[in-house]
Structure 1
Amino acid sequence: MSQPVLSLQDVTIYQDNNAVLTNISLEVNHGEFIYIIGKTGTGKSSFMKTLYGDLPLKQGKGTFVDYDLAKLRERDIPYLRRKIGIVFQDFKLLPDRNVFDNLLFVLKATGWSEKREMEVKINEVLDKVGMKTAVHKMPHQVSGGEQQRIAVARALLNDPEVIIADEPTGNLDPQTSVEVMQLLREINQNGKTIIMATHDYALLMKFPSKTLKCDGGTLFEVVQRTV
């Protein structure tokens, strides 16, 4: 039996010195699709940030993609992040360079150097998300949904074990949200683990999966009602 991709035991998540989520014990296995839901301010983003090393794990035990979160050092964080892909609500594409150069920037920052290999990889991930024709466009020349597809392509560059998606449909209209969700589900069906924070309950009904809720200062599994 392979190790869980994420394991937390008696974890308390802190934002500054305030405990925002307490007493979390959780395992996520390879290939799972997990939703994290909850109102604004209940700790969804703090939970995500703890996973990718933006917030330190001060209390409890946690391992994520084989890294001990409680012992994570500053110099480990870039290596942890190479094993995960992160998709944000606001796309975070660099506005001053085209799609190709946005993805090239990430590859160079994570240690790639061979020009031909980088070109092949960029075309491969853009093809996966249906955005190969946008390779020379600037971010402002494509729609919000297309920008988010490009952001998903960027998250796939280093063939990550896990994709963390923090409100990836938050800035998109309902139809585009469904398209981005279909893309994420397809990536999940091809074996990637996805942990997605969302407040879009319509998507949960349309694409049901294991759901964890931040509420009352903790995180717990909820069973979705099926209509």
Structure 2
Amino acid sequence: MSEVVLELNEVAIYQKDNLVLSEVNLTINKGEFVYLIGKTGSGKSSFMKTLYGDLPLTKGEGKIVDYDLKTLKEKDIPYLRRKLGIVFQDFKLLPDRSINDNLLFVLKATGWKEKPKMTAKINEVLDKVGMKTKGFKFPHELSGGEQQRVAIARALLNDPELILADEPTGNLDPQTSVEVMKVLQEINKSGRTILMATHDYALLLKYPSKTLKCDGSKVFEVVQKSV
């Protein structure tokens, strides 16, 4: 019995009053790696925002990591986000503190209390992304690829059931994109589910996986042509 992490039925996604996507039906099971592709403006970001509670779900049925998106209350959103790891295109690291303190900030904000446990967790996630020795550095002292690795480490802090990566390689050069992708692949192999929005088709060819496409206000699965 595969475990469903995300299920949407007849969902419509709105950005204010504009219908962005309609009749969205999809299921993502635990352990899958799924791409979300589509042109800029096709609704990928609005789709992602609906999943982590930034945009309300008003039409259709949606469940994500056991939360009902339709009845999601403002006060539930932080708890939902603890079960999700979110990786943004622009890293969103706090510039005024070290990498360790960036991660500590997240742990404190999500209710961790014991210092030794927090330190151990920070070391563990930085180790997973190959950044264990860089914790004392500040974001501006790291390359873009390193900053994105830290952002992925941050997404892993609360052992998320689903990682939402929104254009995680969007600001990176091709070589660095591949490095970041390898990190995501490793995390997926360890059993984590990943939904990654991207317009980097080279990565799709290099690391083929289930692919959903946003186009013409619909989301549908596309079969990748093997080269």
TM bin (shorter chain): over 0.9
Aligned equivalent of 1:120: 120
Aligned equivalent of 1:144: 144
Note the C-alpha offset of 1:93: 0.4
Note the C-alpha offset of 1:2: 4.2
Structure 1: distance between partners of 2:3 and 2:192: 15
Identity of counterpart residues, as a percentage?
73
Compute the RMSD of aligned alpha carbons: 0.6
Note the C-alpha offset of 1:3: 3.8
Structure 2 unaligned spans of 5+: none
Structure 2: distance between partners of 1:174 and 1:203: 9
Note the C-alpha offset of 1:12: 0.3
> Can you list the C-alpha shifts for 1:116-156, whole angstroms capped at 9, x where unaligned?
11001001100111101101000001100000000000000
Aligned equivalent of 2:76: 76
Aligned equivalent of 1:8: 8
Which runs of structure 2 are paired with 1:134-213 in the superposition (5 Å)? 134-213=134-213
Which runs of structure 2 are paired with 1:1-40 in the superposition (5 Å)? 1-40=1-40
Structure 1: distance between partners of 2:222 and 2:2: 25
TM-score w.r.t. the length of structure 2 is 0.99
Secondary structure, counterpart of 1:71 in structure 2: coil
Structure 2: distance between partners of 1:106 and 1:50: 22
TM-score w.r.t. the length of structure 1 is 0.99
The letter of the residue matching 1:92 is K
The letter of the residue matching 2:143 is S
Aligned pairs, how many? 227
Structure 2: distance between partners of 1:107 and 1:174: 32
> Can you list the C-alpha shifts for 1:99-131, whole angstroms capped at 9, x where unaligned?
000000000000001111100100110011110
Structure 1: distance between partners of 2:127 and 2:37: 30
Structure 2: distance between partners of 1:8 and 1:124: 33
Aligned equivalent of 2:47: 47
Structure 2: distance between partners of 1:52 and 1:217: 20
Aligned equivalent of 1:97: 97
